Chains A and B, each alone.
Chain A
Amino acid sequence: MGERILDVNNLEINFHTYAGDVKAIRDVSFHLDKGETLAIVGESGSGKSVTTKSLMGLLANNARVVGGSIMYHDEDILKKSEKQMQDIRGKDIAMIFQDPMTSLDPTMKIGRQIAEPLMKHKNVEKKKALAQALEILKLVGIDHAEERINEYPHQFSGGQRQRIVIAIALVCYPEILIADEPTTALDVTIQAQILDLMKELQQKIETSIIFITHDLGVVAGMADRVAVMYAGQIIEYGSVDEIFYNPQHPYTWGLLNSMPTLNSTDLQAIPGTPPDLLDPPKGDPFAARNPYAMKIDEKEKPPFFKVSETHFASTWLLHPDAPKITPPDEIVRRKKIFKKMQANVN
């Protein structure tokens, strides 16, 4: 992979509420290399969206970054002023939102909406910006773009609108594209089209993608690397093959187990609910829902244990003194595939 362009270190974010401070992001670190796709996976409330919003400087008013740094080209994004962030947003780091039905301005022609970042960041005059908007509109696969550029969002379908949202994000050729559940609100058939489009454009525009999703099925075809988040922390990260076929953390097992495959007869849900982040647990946050939990899981947070050069997991099960346990059948099956894959490589 290419040079490292983004480095998030020990990020901590709290939300101030009447009940107290919600510790939404706790000691999160990850990095992004040029041209790669990093998927951040986790269930609702695990802190995926908050993490990415902090990259954009778009956190809600009651959010406070209490620690850590986000290094982008050797500069800490967290230390930049709102004005400096405005120059980065949309130009260097762009974002695709979850719901295309509500993320376009209903009263503005889509051409103008796509042209806006150009006019803002590249000082392009309106006419030229609209011409470039037309180009990118063709690129994202809107038919009859010459006429449709003068239409309003309500004249487009959901899938087409998401293409327009993608066009807005890519019009300045950003270095980093953050996609926050870009296919969740779409029909399954449209989802595949949008994912293919994103992969195709990533090649053309040479951008890095941070892909936020709760859907592991979407990750398999998209990502180079995967980070699994739970209760405001990253609990395991590695290459897409390592996460899918050699998972180490019981929460990752649970996620994979709850994903339908050709062989699965019934879906295994993860019992229980995530911990209350007003008062997060001291040890492994997943301990309460973890059938393999040990005493130490409740007392002390596990450090990251190295599985391979690219694969790390935060679970005491990887400690040399931990008892040997047998993972669920589905995981054992996956690990067998992983061994074959490695044998083939060697």
Chain B
Amino acid sequence: MKKYLLKRVLYMVLTLFLVATITFFLMKLMPGTPYSNQEKMTPQQIKIMNQQYGLDKPIWMQYVIYIFGMVHGDLGTSFQFSNQPVSYLISSRIGASAQLGVQAMLFGVILGIIVGSVAAIYRNTWVDTTATVLSIIGKSVPNFVLAVLLQYYISLKLGWFPIADWEGFSYTILPTIALGVGPLAETARFIRTGMVDVLNSDYIELARAKGMNKFGIIYHHALRNSLIPLVTLIGPYTVALMTGSMVIENIFSIPGIGEQYVKSIQTNDYPTIMGVTMLFCFGLVLIILITDIIYGIIDPRIRLTGNED
């Protein structure tokens, strides 16, 4: 297990390095400069500014300097946000994003498991049909459309929850729903299919032959076996939540990383783009590793063994 983990961590570092390299050069291909009022600046001023930010050096050198700094934990200083270090920018904003992401994930996955299981237990009845139709709608409606609809009907018309901002739990509810409905629909569809299969399997019949009741069978035997395929979805969900949060944070004016990311791209704020990209990338490779470990916990057949090379 230790050897396996070590190998995986090495791969993670390699992945991060490759992503950093590719992103760095792609970013440099973007048109424009970090200066918002460039037309009013003299060439002299631009030269001084470029010198100050190290943008006068050849690109390969900027790259070497950046990677050197990153390895030493220095993500540079933001061009836009009053000369704050990128690491500070990220740490001050990650809280809101992480809370939103975790809430949306829990909301989507837990509710999705319940909806999917109920649909499977009552398969081919109106319950199942309703759940299926709702899942398809949930999957096809983009989250930004849903976000606006929620803002209009729930906040503006009904006034149940605040329309935007981030000042307490009630502010988190609408963005959580908007972000979580996609994973919810996907989970429900997945669990339903998986559980219909599992409920038709021999070991469920054996459980019935033991005299177990419906709840016991679902809880002790069917659920765990239906959850296995769901684990594969955790990675894609994380990506969906990260990218989704960029839009959702903008719509609900949530001071999170996603909002920051979009702004930094619009203003060619190179260190911030790099910093947030690396953060997202790190989050993703970490989730993939965790997914593989969870797989082993849920399904003993693929438990990771130490003698693997």
User: What residues make up the interface of A, taking CB atoms closer than 8 Å to B?
Assistant: 56, 58, 83, 85-91, 94-95, 97, 99, 102-108, 116-117, 120-121, 152, 154, 165, 168-169
Contact: A105 with B203, CB < 8 Å?
Answer: yes
Residues on A with C-beta less than 8 A from B212 are: 86, 90, 116, 120
Contact: A58 with B203, CB < 8 Å?
Answer: no
Q: How far is the CB of A141 from chain B (nearest CB, A)?
A: 20
The tally of CB-CB contacts under 8 A between chains A and B is 76
| Between-chain CB contacts (< 8 Å), 7 pairs | A90-B209, A90-B210, A94-B209, A97-B205, A106-B301, A107-B224, A169-B209
Contact: B203 with A102, CB < 8 Å?
Answer: yes
Q: How far is the CB of A107 from chain B (nearest CB, A)?
A: 5
Residues on B with C-beta less than 8 A from A97 are: 202, 205-206, 209
Contact: A90 with B301, CB < 8 Å?
Answer: no
Contact: B210 with A103, CB < 8 Å?
Answer: no
Contact: A165 with B206, CB < 8 Å?
Answer: yes
Contact A56-B209, Cβ < 8 Å, known A107-B224, A108-B221: yes
The tally of residues in B whose CB lies under 8 Å from a CB in A reads 22
Q: How far is the CA of A168 from the CA of B301 in the complex (A)?
A: 21
* Residue-wise interface mask of B (262-298) relative to A, using a CB-CB cutoff of 8 A (1 in contact, 0 not): 0000000000000000000000000000000000001
Contact A86-B211, Cβ < 8 Å, known A107-B300, A120-B216: yes
* Residue-wise interface mask of B (195-226) relative to A, using a CB-CB cutoff of 8 A (1 in contact, 0 not): 00000011101111111110010001100110
Contact: A103 with B216, CB < 8 Å?
Answer: no
Contact: A106 with B210, CB < 8 Å?
Answer: no
Q: How far is the CA of A169 from the CA of B209 in the complex (A)?
A: 9
Contact: A105 with B225, CB < 8 Å?
Answer: yes
Residues on A with C-beta less than 8 A from B210 are: 89-90, 94, 116-117, 120, 168
For the complex, is B299 an interface residue (Cβ under 8 Å from A)?
yes
Contact A154-B211, Cβ < 8 Å, known A103-B205, A105-B203: no
Residues on A with C-beta less than 8 A from B301 are: 106, 152, 154
Q: How far is the CA of A104 from the CA of B225 in the complex (A)?
A: 12
Contact: B225 with A58, CB < 8 Å?
Answer: no
Residues on B with C-beta less than 8 A from A94 are: 209-210
